Amino acid sequence: MNKRALALLVHGGTENWSPERWKRRFDEVCGDRPVWRLPDAALDPADIHYAAVWKPGQGELAAFPNLRVIFNLGAGVDALTADSSLPGVPLVRVAVEDLTGRMTEYVVLHVLMHHRQELYLRGSQREKRWAPKSQWPASAISVGIMGLGTLGAHAAEALRHLGFRVAGWSRSERRTDGVECFHGKAQLEAFLRRTSILVCLLPLTPDTRDILNRELFAKLDRNSPLGAPVVINAGRGGLQNEADILQCLDDGTLGSASLDVFASEPLPADSRFWTHPKVVLTPHNAADTDPDEISKYVARQIERFEAGGALENVVDRARGY
Ligand code: NDP
Ligand code: OXD
């Protein structure tokens, strides 16, 4: 009997999300399992038992009557949970060492960039100005990470080893060595009051949408050597109120920001974020999901599932992440 087929729906539009590249990798790791890159007019939708997807169109997955499992090819599933016709089968997300390590690199890079006054120093270099300002130690800076899950907990550990005072905020109570842990709405203000560099690694859900807004920024610590606080968002664009960020950078409520994600991606050419002197912008590449690693991860999970084993990293649909 033919192995149950897998449909590949990849709509990222960037080099890492080249559908041809993902198809080649899935063909290699799936052996004799048919892998269909969609759209393909020759496909009978009833043959599809598994779907591996990145930003599928609304309703695309509902076309497969025999679907057993959906594998999201990234960590965040907001593009899927937004689809009201999403089949009620298990939805598996990515939570692997490779992706986690990449996000920690991004977080450490950007925390250090603001802590070590890189925006000022690059400006000095452009102007051939030899004028170092005094530099404080990492221990003078309190970093607060919103989201203490797979990514947040790992980044917290790396920052702690560099000497930063690290706290985290989650939905439920968490304990992480050397990290001051806060949870729930009731503890959010205390978490913000002690935070001078805020890192956001939350998933986008109805509870977290627009959470990064003026009211929240106004509660951050302004008494650190940085002066005005810094925001780093690598979660999702929908977590941030973009008009508030721009206004807060302009009026000094925020000192600077690193933004990897935006409400509209690709970021429109007329966005002020592109040229804002206090913004360090990256094009949603804080942590790429690697086709080599993730195709193997999906193939392994399918083999285990067909052998009667449990799927890993299944999304809790009620929580939305
Ligand atoms: P996890 O599900 O492992 O962790 C999510 C964390 O957020 C948990 O600590 C969770 O709390 C917390 N959280 C969720 N909702 C709330 C809430 N309402 N209030 C307080 N805390 C909340 O996710 P990951 O760490 O794997 O990934 C996080 C996000 O990072 C992804 O959803 C994705 O959007 C983004 N991402 C971005 C990438 C990029 O390149 N820019 C790459 C990869 C991911 P609790 O611990 O109690 O469950
Ligand atoms: C992800 C992403 O969620 O790359 O994995 O944004």
DSSP assignment of 253-268: SSSEEEE---SSSSPP
Question: What's the pLDDT score for residue 247?
Answer: 98
For 201-224, what is the mean pLDDT?
98
- Closest atom of ligand 2 to 288 CA is 4
pLDDT band, very low/low/confident/very high, at 236 (cuts 50, 70, 90): very high
The residue whose two tokens read 């000094």 is: 252
- Residues touching ligand 2 (Cβ under 6 Å) are 74-76, 94, 287, 289
| Closest ligand to Cα 54 | 2
Is the CB of residue 152 below 6 angstroms from any atom belonging to ligand 1? yes
Q: Which residues contact 71 (CB under 8 A, 6 or more apart)?
A: 50, 51, 52, 53, 92, 298, 301
Q: Whose CA is nearest to atom 2 of ligand 2?
A: 74
- Closest atom of ligand 2 to 73 CA is 5
> Is-cis flag, bond preceding 266, omega within 30?
yes
For 107-126, what is the mean pLDDT?
98
Using the 8-state DSSP alphabet, how is residue 57 labeled?
P
Q: Active-site residue 126, yes or no?
A: no
Pick the catalytic residue from 284, 300, 304, 317.
Answer: 284
Distance 74 CA to ligand 2 centre (A): 4
Question: What's the pLDDT score for residue 124?
Answer: 98
289, 290, 321: residue to mutate for ligand 2 pocket, most atoms within 8 A of CB:
289
pLDDT band, very low/low/confident/very high, at 167 (cuts 50, 70, 90): very high
pLDDT at residue 1 is higher than 60: no
Tell me the C-alpha to C-alpha distance, in Å, between residue 12 and each of 9, 18, 27, 243, 265: 10, 7, 19, 25, 10
Distance 133 CA to ligand 2 centre (A): 37
Distance 269 CA to ligand 1 centre (A): 29
pLDDT band, very low/low/confident/very high, at 12 (cuts 50, 70, 90): confident
Burial class (CB in 10 A: 0-12, 13-18, 19+), 219: middle
For 177-204, what is the mean pLDDT?
98
Question: What's the pLDDT score for residue 13?
Answer: 84
Q: Active-site residue 102, yes or no?
A: no
pLDDT band, very low/low/confident/very high, at 180 (cuts 50, 70, 90): very high
